[in-house]
Chains A and B, each alone.
Chain A
Amino acid sequence: MTLSAGAAAGAALAACGNEGPGDDSGGGSGSGAATYWSLSGEPGQPYRQAAADRWNKANPDAKITPTFFQNDAYKQKIKTALGANQAPTMIWGWGGGGLKSYVEAGQVEDLTDWLSQNAAVKDKILPSSFGAATVDGKIYAMPVETVQPIVLYYNKKVFDQVGVQPPQTYGDILALIPKFNAKGIAPFSLAGQSRWTNMMWLEFMLDRQAGSEVFDNVFAGKQGAWSDPAVLDMLTKVQDLVKQNAFQKGFASTVADTNADQALLYTGKAAMMVHGSWSYGIQKANGGKFVADGGLGWMNFPPIDGGKGDPTNTVGNPGQYLSISSKATPEAKETAKKFFSTTLVDDEEKAGWVKSGGVPVLKGADSLFTGDDATFLKDMAAIAAGAKTFAQSWDQALSPTAAEVLLDNIAKLFQLQVSPQQWVDNMNGVIGK
């Protein structure tokens, strides 16, 4: 009885969801008008806006309207929009598990054929960036913007002030922690409330400890993959860091979206920070003369003594990704594709992202690495190109459901609310989900 009534209402609900207009251009001008949602804030937003402006100037009949959202807010906003058939023409994302869920829901266009017809476009992009855009052998997103390895940043001024050297190994890191704490400086800045920031620690510690195979098994959905002894060892090390006050006071309530963690580093309240390469642009934009005066240092995460992982390995975003909504009008889709094949691969785009302090996904950017940012850019390009494995961030690689359990358990791990063994058990429970 209840079920049949429910079925009717459910059908009504589903129908309600479907009857929205297929055109999601939000009343833009011209028939080929398209919309584009992406992230707000430095360093990326000005260059995303610039790309749209360039396009709109050249194509006044098919305008692209960009809208920008904060990182964590965007992740929910885009899902809600997709579910309500109100998605923008172009959907910005991180590829991987999130993209896979869009593909399974039939929300994004298959770009495989288009890219093989436009081999010249595909050829302009680093091949390694296509990995996270590929689901079951088909490409559903265009790699754009920058390759973003996660690195260990440090404040050189603070290191000089305390009279210590940057760490060469994980052992050095452990030795540095009490020295900074004694001076009232937080050894590491960490935006713990954002949770994915904590995750970057786990990614590196596990990789350096045991190599990339452990997470590959998790990604492949192998039952009990988290039970590898290296995971327990890594989790214990992370909790030891928390117990030794390796992170600033109140790290559990610090938020990455407001760049509070970045501020700790450039104000010298913290000595080091593990963060994505985009952090350089934020430090440069917000830190006054901190970067210009050579205050910021960086390195690949150091090896763990006795660890099996290749120290050249890195973790992060092999690119950002733009997908085309399958619900968009044919005209809007055409606009998006033309935007992909012209504006997003042009020289200005490449130069813009270099200027933002990033390594573009577009080939042949090396010659642009000049000026103030040259050293940083060359180092990032070297880390990305020299990495034996460039692993995708865990929360982006996994499905949204598994990623939420992962982030929840990571937050509890850092609060010492769960033991390493409980963590492993909880995470084994969502493998392949």
Chain B
Amino acid sequence: MTTLAPPVVRGQEPTRSSGGRSGSVVWMALPAFVMFVFFGIVPLLGVIVLSFATWNGITPTIELTGLTSWRAALSNPSLPNAIWVTFLIMALSWLVQTPISILLGVFMATRTRYRGFLSVLYFIPLLLSSAAIAITYKSLLDPSFGIGAGLGVEALNQNWLGEANLAIGTLIFVVSWQFIPFHSLIYQGAVRQIPHSMYEAAQIDGAGRVRQFFGITLPQLKYTIITSSTLMVVGSLTFFDLIWVLTAGGPGDATRALAVQMYQQGFQASLMGPASAIAVILVLTGLGLSLLLRRLGGRADESQLEGA
């Protein structure tokens, strides 16, 4: 315990001196803060106001009509389906992406042959824009002109995007293909942070590779899993570009997630009020989910190493 005393004292020192330094620190945060206020907070407030208004998007005046738009948005018969699709995409894409990302991340963190080369390959999808990915997959999966028809492989020639369940599955596949590289990268970094001594100790105790993975790697990745899951879950709420280009919410309304529903209400049906109400719902859901995931992770300042 006595050895721990000095750090406590040192720990207080920066706190005191930060009073002097905070002036310049605040100034440095100002550009980011201004950007955030103008492009984050102000539009958000605008959306909240719009959700209590009636506006078709083109009239010069916006009429405040209280809860009319909320009522219209909430009583829309397609809302339950949109919520279901949103959470389905969220759950499935998490279930597919997390295990694969962890395994890839662990693999990329090791120092085996070709690792660097393979890591670069895995990374490529992340460099492409969602729209480009969606257009490419849409062409590849076309039953008449796609890869199945081109190569004459019947098994590949399914109605990938034209049949409700297959369309959801295809969407999850494309989402995973796009985002697994990013999450693998996070896990790779986290795995490298795990002290080597832990594995050495495990080896001395006779633990095999699988045992080491479940006994050391996975528990040590707890906070990384929470970070990555938060990004996945909250990010999946805003999937729009990929869905819009791949299926436009179709077939029928099989892939019409909340973000797509919002766009259709606002920009196609000219109902900016109900569309803004959906946007507010999306913001609140996103906030709620990330708070919940933080809770699951316990106290954020608790040391990861102590947990082992």
Contacts and interface: CB of A to CB of B under 8 A. Distances in A.
Contacts of B160: 250, 253
B57 A10 contact: no
B144 A264 contact: yes
Contacts of A186: 144
B257 interface: no
Interface stretch (A155-163, A302-310, A404-412): A404-412
B156 interface: no
B277 interface: no
Contacts of A399: 270
Interface residues of B, number: 47
Contacts of A83: 55, 57-59
A3 B52 contact: yes
B238 interface: no
Contacts of B60: 14, 17-18, 85, 105-106
Contacts of B251: 192-193, 252-253, 411, 415
A67 interface: no
Contacts of B265: 404
A367 interface: no
Given A82-B58, A105-B59, A3 B53 contact: no
Interface in A71-98: 75-76, 79-80, 82-83, 85
Given A192-B162, A250-B161, A417 B253 contact: yes
B62 A10 contact: yes
Contacts of A250: 142-144, 159-162
A107 interface: yes
Contacts of B270: 79, 101, 399-401, 404
Nearest to A17: B60
Interface in A178-212: 186, 192-193
Contact of B57 (A79, A253, A260, A412): A79
Interface in B217-254: 246-248, 250-254
A13 B247 contact: no
Contacts of B163: 252
Given A79-B57, A80-B267, A401-B270, A253 B162 contact: yes
Contacts of B159: 249-250, 252-253
A263 interface: yes
A6 B70 CA distance: 15
Contacts of A192: 162, 250-251
A193 B248 contact: yes
A104 interface: yes
A400 B269 contact: yes
Interface of A is mostly: helix
Given A80-B57, A102-B58, A404-B269, A253 B253 contact: no
A186 B269 CA distance: 33
A261 to B, nearest CB: 10
Nearest to A75: B268
Interface in B54-70: 55-62, 64, 66
Contacts of A249: 143-144, 159, 162
A7 interface: yes
A285 interface: no
B78 to A, nearest CB: 7
A13 B43 CA distance: 10
Contacts of B250: 192-193, 252-253, 411, 415
B48 to A, nearest CB: 8
Given A75-B268, A80-B57, A263-B145, A408 B64 contact: no
B152 interface: no
A6 B49 contact: yes
B190 to A, nearest CB: 38
Given A6-B64, A192-B162, A250-B161, A404 B264 contact: yes
B172 interface: no
A298 interface: no
B293 to A, nearest CB: 30
Contact-residue bracket for chain A: 35 or more
B267 A3 contact: no
A415 B144 contact: no
A58 interface: no
Contacts of A9: 45-46, 49
Contacts of A122: none
A412 B252 contact: yes
Contact of B64 (A7, A264, A417): A7
A269 interface: yes
Nearest to A400: B270
A408 B249 CA distance: 10
A94 to B, nearest CB: 14
Nearest to B245: A255
Interface in A276-297: none
B142 A412 contact: no
Interface string B61-96: 110101000000000011000000000000000000
A319 to B, nearest CB: 22
Interface in B136-165: 138, 141-145, 159-164
A400 to B, nearest CB: 4
B191 interface: no
- Kindly name the residue among B50, B60, B61, B163 whose own CB sees the greatest number of chain A CB atoms within 10 A: B60
A274 B45 CA distance: 46
Contact of B269 (A6, A14, A401): A401
Given A252-B162, A260-B142, A107 B64 contact: no
B267 A79 contact: yes
Contacts of B258: none
Interface of A: 2-3, 6-7, 9-10, 13-14, 17-18, 75-76, 79-80, 82-83, 85, 101-102, 104-107, 186, 192-193, 248-255, 260, 263-264, 269, 399-401, 403-405, 407-408, 411-412, 414-415, 417, 426
7 A-B pairs with the lowest CB-CB distances in the bound complex, closest first? A253-B161, A404-B269, A252-B251, A415-B252, A250-B143, A252-B162, A250-B162
7 contacts: A2-B52, A10-B62, A13-B62, A80-B57, A400-B269, A415-B251, A415-B252
Interface of B: 45-46, 48-50, 52-53, 55-62, 64, 66, 77-78, 138, 141-145, 159-164, 167, 246-248, 250-254, 264-265, 267-271
Given A249-B144, A254-B162, 7 more contacts: A3-B66, A10-B49, A14-B60, A14-B62, A253-B167, A253-B250, A411-B252
